[in-house]
């Protein structure tokens, strides 16, 4: 039988560690899922509240990051369910970009615009791989997709970003979906 949180030295201490270690990562990920700083913070809050309620289902702290990321993805999907929208139908380019004051160098803005134009199914694995160093297998497990599908999405994401940054039509990003 696995130990429950109340059998552990201190569930609060364990939770505090998770919050301190992963809240920044989750916030950035949530921002790129939602396109809104306010929604991103709400998603992080909801994610940690759910994590707290089900802390005893996290068997190993080594799996914490993937576990929290999966919870956040589900919370985001619920947000769309509540709005009766199809998740895959809403892309960030249609959402208002908030607070673009951070790092406003032209080349960064151009890349950020290109990233926002990528459909979520391409942007999300790219974020997980580039920022967090997840392997193809780990991303495939997280998304419940075949490894080759994830590889194809990453392949296309980079190809299109490269294409756009080389001065081609950013509208071509839409052809990806």
Partner 1 sequence: MNCLEFRRAKLADPGLDNADLEAHRLDCISCRQFEDELRNLDDGVREAFAVPVPENLEARVLLRQSFADQPGVGLRHKYWLAVAASMVVAVLGSLLVILPDSGSSIENQITSHVGFEERIAREIESYLPASEVQSVLDATGIKAPLELTEVVYAHKCVVANKPIAHLVMREDAGDFTVILMPFGVEEARPFSIDGWDGHIQATSFGGIAVLSERVQSTDRMQHLSDRVLASLRATGD
Cα-Cα end-to-end distance for the chain: 45
Q: Residues 88, 152, 168, 177: which binds partner 1 (CB under 8 A)?
A: 152
Reference 118, options 9, 28, 33; nearest CA is 33
Element of type H or E holding 80: helix 64-82
- Residues 39-68, mask of contacts with partner 1 (x by CB under 8 A): -xxx-xx--xx--xxxxxx-----------
Binding-site member from 90, 136, 145, 176 for partner 1 (CB under 8 A): 136
How many CA atoms within 13 Å lie on the side-chain side of 100?
Answer: 13
Largest CA distance in the chain: 59
Stretch that binds partner 1, among 65-73, 84-92, 126-134, 168-176 (CB under 8 A): 126-134
Structure tokens at 141: 């497990």
- Residues near partner 1 (CB under 8 A) are 4-6, 11, 15-16, 19-20, 23-24, 27-28, 31-32, 37-38, 40-42, 44-45, 48-49, 52-57, 82, 102-103, 107-108, 111-112, 115, 126-127, 129-131, 133, 135-136, 150-152, 154-155, 158-159, 161-162, 165
């Amino acid at each position: 039988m696995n130990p429950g949180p109340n059998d552990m030295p201190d569930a609060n201490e364990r939770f505090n560690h998770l919050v301190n270690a992963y809240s920044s990562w989750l916030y950035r990920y949530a921002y790129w899922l939602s396109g809104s700083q306010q929604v991103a913070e709400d998603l992080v809050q909801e994610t940690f509240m759910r994590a707290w309620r089900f802390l005893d289902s996290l068997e190993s702290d080594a799996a914490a990051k993937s576990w929290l990321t999966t919870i956040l993805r589900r919370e985001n999907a619920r947000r769309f369910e509540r709005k009766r929208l199809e998740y895959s139908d809403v892309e960030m380019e249609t959402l208002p970009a908030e607070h673009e004051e951070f790092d406003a160098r032209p080349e960064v803005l151009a890349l950020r615009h290109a990233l926002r134009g990528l459909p979520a199914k391409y942007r999300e694995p790219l974020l997980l791989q580039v920022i967090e160093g997840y392997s193809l297998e780990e991303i495939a497990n997280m998304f419940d997709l075949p490894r080759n599908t994830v590889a194809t999405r990453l392949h296309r994401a980079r190809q299109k970003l490269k294409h756009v940054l080389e001065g081609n039509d950013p509208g071509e990003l839409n052809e990806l979906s």
